[in-house]
Amino acid sequence: MIKVIGLHKNFGKLEVLKGVDCHVASREVVCVIGPSGSGKSTLLRCVNQLEQATGGQIFVDGEEITSPKTDINKIRQQVGMVFQLFNLFPHKTTLENITLAPIKIKGVSRSEAEQVANELLRKVGLTDKSDVYPGQLSGGQKQRVAIARALAMQPKVMLFDEPTSSLDPEMVGEVLEVMKDLAHEGMTMMVVTHEMGFAREVGHRVLFMDEGIIMEEGTPAQIFDNPHNARTQSFLSKVI
């Protein structure tokens, strides 16, 4: 579903990604872990072109998105993204946050979009919050709305960039629960996370990133119980 080949990304002189190769198969959940500044967010942001790659290729569902000929807006409709800081639209209600893109981009009728939105709200456990503005939601609720908003475009892939990192500890669980359900339904997911429990339990594969490359990859059991790379070992000893 996602294929990244030799991805390079520079910010000016700073080389952040130094040749990343990875892939995510259909219905697979891949978790990306690694120290701060290693380029995890940048990798994810390149996959939906919020950052433009300096070199290399990225394919989403067979289409090369790094090619200038690709209609990036079309691709982005198929790639949902969930941000660390939610980025809900503060001037729109929960329901409007979810229906905005389907109505304006896909041309779905309002009633149909609202029906889908209500179903998604049920899925993330927020049926009673549909007419509330984001300002009145807790962090965990915001993030669940953000997930519903991304799902409303019926993406083929979901990208999560540390979706629980800015949440109070007691709210982390509710968001991870939603993501777990999503994984069990067979959604293709790429998740940057510091939640090692989630990566171990839900992830099919784990990528350990450091210094702009993927240092080690494997099943959760391989990475967490038997890491080969010294960097991986030292990182895991610090976070677990």
Ligand X SMILES: Nc1ncnc2c1ncn2[C@@H]1O[C@H](COP(=O)(O)OP(=O)(O)OP(=O)(O)O)[C@@H](O)[C@H]1O
Query: Could you tell me the smallest distance in angstroms from the CB atom of residue 98 to ligand X?
Result: 26
State which residue, 46 or 145, has the beta carbon closest to ligand X: 46
CB atoms within 10 A of CB 129: 21
Question: Is 49 a residue that touches ligand X (CB under 6 A)?
Answer: no
Note whether 208 and 231 are within 8 A (CB): yes
Site string for ligand X, 18-37 (x = CB under 6 A): ----------------x-xx
Site stretch for ligand X (CB under 6 A), options 8-16, 59-67, 125-133, 179-187:
8-16
Residues 6+ apart with CB under 8 A from 202: 29, 31, 179, 180, 183
Question: Is 77 a residue that touches other proteins (CB under 8 A)?
Answer: yes
**SS3 assignment, position 160:** strand
Q: From the list other proteins, ligand X, Mg ion, none, which binds 25 (C-beta under 5 to 8 Å, kind-based)?
A: none
Question: Is 164 a residue that touches ligand X (CB under 6 A)?
Answer: no
Could you give the CA distance from residue 80 to residue 76 in angstroms, rounded to a whole number? 7
Could you give the CA distance from residue 87 to residue 101 in angstroms, rounded to a whole number? 14
Strands (DSSP E) contained in the chain are 2-11, 14-24, 29-33, 55-60, 63-64, 79-82, 157-161, 188-192, 205-210, 213-218
Site string for other proteins, 86-105 (x = CB under 8 A): -xxxxx--------xx--xx
Q: How many residues does the chain have?
A: 240
Could you give the CA distance from residue 157 to residue 46 in angstroms, rounded to a whole number? 14
Site for ligand X in 75-134 (CB under 6 A): none
Site stretch for other proteins (CB under 8 A), options 29-37, 124-132, 146-154, 173-181:
146-154
Question: Where do contacts with Mg ion occur on this chain (CB under 5 A)?
Answer: 41
Give residues in contact with ligand X (CB under 6 A).
Answer: 11, 14, 16, 34, 36-42
Contact residues for other proteins (CB under 8 A)? 48, 50, 73-74, 76-77, 79-81, 83, 85, 87-91, 100-101, 104-105, 146, 149-150, 153
